[in-house]
Amino acid sequence: MKRFRGGLVVKAHRLVYTIQVAITCGGASIGFFQGDVVKLLTDDIPALRPTILAAVPRIYSRIYDKVSLSLSLSLSLSLSR
């Protein structure tokens, strides 16, 4: 049997764990993404009031898409009046 020596994913998870331990030891709190961008923007972010929002690029892309859509809809509604 081959021994698994670890890879980039395992090291990334170790880094995330180390960062989580460090910031919680410093008195910070951590909130985890639950999968719904609308809930993240309307409920989670106002409740958590994060100083740092660490996420993978896909989450930032989804947030950007939702905010852009909301802004374009509100602008088109305000211009049509």
Instruction: Please give the model's pTM, rounded to 2 decimal places.
Output: 0.57
29 with 49: CB under 8 angstroms? no
CB atoms inside a 10 Å sphere around CB 40: 20
Spans of all domains in the chain? 8-79
pLDDT in 10s for each residue of the chain, 81 residues = 555 565 556 776 788 888 888 988 988 888 887 888 888 888 888 888 887 787 778 888 988 998 899 898 888 777 766
40 with 33: CB under 8 angstroms? yes
